[in-house]
Amino acid sequence: MAEAHPVGFQWVVEAKNRGAKVIHVDPRFSRTSALANTHVPVRAGADIAFLGGIVNYILGNEKDFRDYVLAYTNASMIVSAKYRDTEDLDGLFSGFDPGTNTYDQTSWMYAGSEEHAGDSADSAAGRETASGLRHESHGVPVPADVPRDETLQDPNCVYQILKRHYARYTPEVVEQVCGVPREKFLEVCEAWTANSGRERTTCLVYSVGWTQHSVGVQYIRTGAIIQLLLGNMGRPGGGVLALRGHASIQGSTDIPTLFNLLPGYLPMPHHAQHPTFGEWVDEIRHPGQKGFWANAESYAVSLLKAYFGDAATRDNDWGYGWLPRLTGDHGTYRQALDMIDGKIKGYFLLGQNPAVGSAHGRAQRLGMANLDWLVVRDLYMIESATFWKNGPEVETGEITPESCRTEVFFFPAASHAEKEGTFTQTQRMLQWREKAVEPPGDARSDLWFFYHLGRRLKARLASSPLPRDAAIQNLTWEYGADEPSGERVLQEINGFDLSTGKLLSSFTEMKPDGTTSGGCWIYTGVFADGVNQAARRKPGSEQNWVAPEWGWAWPANRRTLYNRASADPDGKPWSERKKYVWWDPEKGEWTGADVPDFERTKPPTYEPPEGASGVAALSGRDAFIMQGDGKGWLYVPSGLIDGPLPTHYEPAESMVRNPLYGQQANPTRKVYDRDDNPTNPSPPRQHADVFPYVFSTSRLTEHHTAGGMSRQLAYLSELQPEMFVEVSPALAAERGLEHLGWAHIVTARAAIEARVLVTERLTPLRIDGRVVHQLWLPYHWGSEGLVTGDSANDLIGITLDPNVLIQESKVGTCDIQPGRRPVGKALLAYVADYRRRAGLAPGSRPPTVTTKDADGDQ
């Protein structure tokens, strides 16, 4: 956090100065570790074993916050008798289909509700469309009335299942899997549990490297289980906080430039699952379901009204038929491979630099070299615009300018100072930026670019008789003359009451009858009372510590989600020290420092009437209001591709045999088995020793992602001028590496070179009786800019988390050797020789399932 988010870290330092204990768990000793009370070096890729050990400690010692757990989590719910755990099946859950390597999730459901698994049972399609992402704002559908055992004794209740699942994650196993001495591990357990409860809360902070694993979603789930068991969710000083690394990466998920989502986490229509408007909406709202998602039709109709205006009518299903349909995986890695295969004609790059920033840089560049045309919009000249003349493949002769057919357009972009608009920062807060000056020369905002591209397309297709052009013809597209008005776009996002022309103040005002519009329902309210709430700048020193009058957070300006849980079931603060939002019986409403994340006047004693659905079905104690059952989920009965509980799997590339299960790696991980995307061998396969070291990558304070905004600036380039690799003194001795000398790092994809920093900030770990060396690389370098160097992401292959299709790029295996890498064609031969020694012959396809009876019946 100190490394990549230094200004956010001021609050950690301040907390530490006030007595908080700061624990940093990371393979490498970073700037964060330097200020932490304790640094725990851990093996990269073993986080579920570590956190699972903490779950086991909590349950084994009954350290959970029982009142909270009973009231607000699904601990007491009874799971189907057909459920079988990874403990029973050597690392697989019940329902595994070896044909697709996905699960039928029916047996994971609550008892008596197995048929509700519904569409989630088809997890092969779910994986293709990254369906897990839809749950960013809400849970998947589950029935409201589930059998429960408040004593938590029923062997099939979630609490007992959790206990059995993690029983083997003992301090000894944590030490064996993660390399963390048990004393150090117990120190973390004791600190975390002692600092949680009525009087105290603990915050879990992760940076989004956590998502870059083949089990990334389950990493975060394990953290969430701990925080729920300890009562740290929805409370001040608690939570699971993601530190995201781009100015508006949260915003670009909420209002997605993502293939599988529409604004507000509505799913993109799927050709088979959502042929009609009705089926599409029903999949979102699930008739009869509890919670706010039940109003999905209003959100969907309002979006289509925002898109198509008067042309969207009830008779034409609000223009639903004009929307394009998914058929499967259309993610960025699928696209890169499709480019290599010549399936894609044109590519827009908008402030993004995949030649350096995406996994498997070589595949990215070879893909771009096989397009008809490429549009790059950026502030500076980046590697993705010059791959045809300066990329590593030019050096090896695989790409030459004379033979590369791709037509490349570079458009200079306007900087943040040269356009108005909002960023959504990592805690869902929108902040409006004023425009300071005009952009220089031909530089334009992306708002300008797409507005004028859209105007051109509309003009050219205005008289087209083709049905395919109706969507563009009917698209509402009036945002001003030359420079479009950002405020006008934000108002469209907020939405209008179309009968009065007034801006909406809340998504609860949205209607399914076509009388309201709104481009992103969770952002409705950013123009509450007709005022741009995101532009509010009341100084922090002049308001309460929650600072609700600075910017605007979705939904409804709530700063802490599920904050109903900061009060006990009766609506009273858990303690005076931790009071945040509570029920005021005098006034008959919820009140506190934040906007209550609950219906303001629904009392804690409210019980839903028989047969209620939607919001009315939420009881006065259902704090997790977007969840189908109103509860925080320790166990996920439906909706995750890889299982209802996080389980330790080895990374896709590991030199260690999974000590816990026969199943080595996540059996449902998304793989692209192609000769141009080889994976280093892991046990039980042979030749894992060809790549005997673990590597991880991350950021330096002095640089930003792929370097386009930092390696171009002298003041940042001078602070970290060269690509380097960090190794421990022990590894340096083992491989003959010298401080400041050159070394090269090799995987089945590439060999890159770097200067060596020998440092004790990296520590060899003892894993399962052997020494495991880890090395670390920053990933900021490429061939353009004031300072240049090889790209760490070239080392990484494409293997994805099955829930969200994010690549495993924070852990892999490699070799490291002293000296610079070979150049030219010799480099290709050098890497090919590693592949040969590793048994990665063309066409070889490793088995995914490695349980002891993998060859037999599951």
Partner 1 sequence: MGVRTWIEGWPVYRQLTGTDPLGRGAAAQSERSRSLTARTETADRVAKSVCPYCAVGCGQRIFVKDEKVVQIEGDPDSPVSRGRLCPKGSASLSLVTSPRRQQHVLYRKPFGTDWEKLDLETAMDMIAERVLKAREQTWEDADDEGRPLNRTLGISSLGGATLDNEENYLIKKLFTAMGAIQIENQARI
Partner 2 sequence: MGINSLYGPLDPAPDAGYPDAPPRMGFFTDTSVCIGCKACEVACKTWNAIPDDGFNLLGHSYDNTGGLSADSWRHVAFIEQPAVDALAAAGRPEPQFLGMPGTTLPGESVPAGSRTDFRWLMMSNVCKHCTHAGCLDVCPTGSLFRTEFGTVVVQEDICNGCGYCVAACPYGVIDRREDDGRAWKCTLCYDRLGDGLTPACAQACPTESIVFGELSELHARADERVAKLHADGVGSARLYGHDQDDGVGGDGAFFLLLDEPEVYGLPPDPIVTTRDLPDMWKRAGLAALAMAASVAVSFLGRRG
Q: Rule CB under 8 A: which residues touch partner 2?
A: 2, 6-7, 9-10, 13, 17, 29, 31-35, 39, 700-702, 714-722, 724, 739-740, 755, 757, 759-761, 786-787
- The amino acid sitting at 623 is A
The structure tokens listed for 526 are 């950013």
Binding of residue 405 to partner 1 (CB under 8 A): yes
Taking the CA atoms of 341, 344, 345 and 348 in sequence, report the sign of the dihedral they define. negative
227 binds, among partner 1, partner 2, none (CB under 5 to 8 A by kind): none
160 binds, among partner 2, partner 1, none (CB under 5 to 8 A by kind): none
The binder of partner 1 chosen from 5, 28, 744, 780 (CB under 8 A): 5
CB of 178 to partner 2, least distance (A): 18
The per-residue DSSP string of 35-100 comes to HSSEEE---TT-HHHHHHHHHHHHHHTT-S-HHHHHHHBSTTBBBPTT---TTTTTT--TTEETTT
Q: Which C-beta is closer to partner 2: that of 27 or that of 802?
A: 27
CB of 669 to partner 1, least distance (A): 15
29 binds, among partner 2, partner 1, none (CB under 5 to 8 A by kind): partner 2
145 binds, among partner 2, partner 1, none (CB under 5 to 8 A by kind): none
The structure tokens listed for 414 are 């306007």
**Is cis: bond before 555, omega within 30 of 0?**
yes
327 binds, among partner 1, partner 2, none (CB under 5 to 8 A by kind): partner 1
31 binds, among partner 2, partner 1, none (CB under 5 to 8 A by kind): partner 2
Q: Which helix (H) or strand (E) holds 503?
A: strand 502-503
CB of 16 to partner 2, least distance (A): 8
Q: Which C-beta is closer to partner 2: that of 116 or that of 711?
A: 711
Q: Which C-beta is closer to partner 1: that of 61 or that of 327?
A: 327
441 binds, among partner 1, partner 2, none (CB under 5 to 8 A by kind): partner 1
- Give the separation between CA 649 and CA 47, rounded to whole angstroms: 10
Dihedral pair phi/psi, residue 696, rounded to 5°: -140, 160
CB of 14 to partner 2, least distance (A): 8
Site for partner 1, residues 288 to 347, rule: CB under 8 A: 307, 321-327, 330-332, 335, 338-339, 343-347
CB of 381 to partner 1, least distance (A): 6
375 binds, among partner 1, partner 2, none (CB under 5 to 8 A by kind): partner 1
Q: Which C-beta is closer to partner 2: that of 696 or that of 710?
A: 710
- The amino acid sitting at 412 is P
Site for partner 1, residues 817 to 836, rule: CB under 8 A: none
Torsion of CA 615, 616, 618, 623, to 10 degrees: 60
Q: Which C-beta is closer to partner 2: that of 2 or that of 623?
A: 2
Binding of residue 517 to partner 1 (CB under 8 A): no
Phi-psi region of 771 (alpha: psi -120 to 50; beta: other; left: phi over 0): beta
The binder of partner 1 chosen from 153, 313, 373, 577 (CB under 8 A): 373
Site string for partner 1, 206-235 (x = CB under 8 A): ------x-----------------------
As a three-state string, the secondary structure of 208-257 is HHHHCCCCHHHHHHHHHHHHHHCCCCCCCCCCEEEECCCCCCCHHHHCCC
- Give the separation between CA 417 and CA 110, rounded to whole angstroms: 52
Residue 426, number of CB atoms within 10 A of its CB: 19
Binding of residue 279 to partner 1 (CB under 8 A): no
- Give the separation between CA 387 and CA 96, rounded to whole angstroms: 43
Q: Which C-beta is closer to partner 1: that of 68 or that of 277?
A: 277
17 binds, among partner 2, partner 1, none (CB under 5 to 8 A by kind): partner 2
**Contact status, residue 513 vs residue 483, Cβ threshold 8 Å:** no
Torsion of CA 561, 566, 568, 574, to 10 degrees: 170
Q: Which C-beta is closer to partner 1: that of 432 or that of 693?
A: 432
Site for partner 1, residues 561 to 620, rule: CB under 8 A: none
CB of 688 to partner 1, least distance (A): 27
Site for partner 1, residues 686 to 745, rule: CB under 8 A: 701-705, 709-710, 712-716, 719
696 binds, among partner 2, partner 1, none (CB under 5 to 8 A by kind): none
- Give the separation between CA 37 and CA 32, rounded to whole angstroms: 10
**Contact status, residue 77 vs residue 633, Cβ threshold 8 Å:** no
The binder of partner 1 chosen from 37, 61, 153, 257 (CB under 8 A): 257
CB of 656 to partner 1, least distance (A): 26
CA-to-CA dists, residue 624 to 234, 630, 703, 764, angstroms: 9, 5, 38, 42
- The position carrying tokens 């952009």 is 439
Q: Which C-beta is closer to partner 2: that of 39 or that of 648?
A: 39
617 binds, among partner 1, partner 2, none (CB under 5 to 8 A by kind): none
490 binds, among partner 1, partner 2, none (CB under 5 to 8 A by kind): partner 1
The binder of partner 1 chosen from 200, 360, 377, 669 (CB under 8 A): 377
The structure tokens listed for 222 are 């394990």
Q: Which C-beta is closer to partner 2: that of 615 or that of 757?
A: 757
**Contact status, residue 306 vs residue 503, Cβ threshold 8 Å:** no
- The position carrying tokens 């799971």 is 79
- Give the separation between CA 711 and CA 705, rounded to whole angstroms: 10
- Collect all residues with Cβ–Cβ distance below 8 Å to 581 and sequence separation of at least 6: 563, 564, 566, 567, 590, 591, 592, 593, 594, 596, 597, 598
The binder of partner 1 chosen from 13, 20, 241, 249 (CB under 8 A): 249
- Give the separation between CA 809 and CA 258, rounded to whole angstroms: 20
CB of 25 to partner 2, least distance (A): 15
Site for partner 1, residues 422 to 481, rule: CB under 8 A: 422-427, 429-438, 440-447, 449-454, 456-457, 460-461, 467-468, 471-472, 475, 477, 479
CB of 26 to partner 2, least distance (A): 13
- The position carrying tokens 């590369």 is 404
Site for partner 1, residues 519 to 558, rule: CB under 8 A: 519-520, 523, 535, 537-541, 543, 545, 547, 550-551
The binder of partner 1 chosen from 406, 563, 728, 783 (CB under 8 A): 406
- Give the separation between CA 65 and CA 399, rounded to whole angstroms: 60
426 binds, among partner 2, partner 1, none (CB under 5 to 8 A by kind): partner 1
Q: Which C-beta is closer to partner 2: that of 663 or that of 698?
A: 698
- Give the separation between CA 485 and CA 225, rounded to whole angstroms: 44
Q: Are strands 774-778 and 693-698 parallel, antiparallel or unpaired?
A: parallel
Q: Which C-beta is closer to partner 1: that of 56 or that of 129?
A: 129
Site for partner 1, residues 343 to 372, rule: CB under 8 A: 343-352, 354, 357-359, 372
CB of 712 to partner 2, least distance (A): 12
Binding of residue 258 to partner 1 (CB under 8 A): yes
CB of 103 to partner 1, least distance (A): 23
442 binds, among partner 2, partner 1, none (CB under 5 to 8 A by kind): partner 1
Dihedral pair phi/psi, residue 241, rounded to 5°: -105, 125
- Give the separation between CA 340 and CA 37, rounded to whole angstroms: 49
- Give the separation between CA 662 and CA 474, rounded to whole angstroms: 56
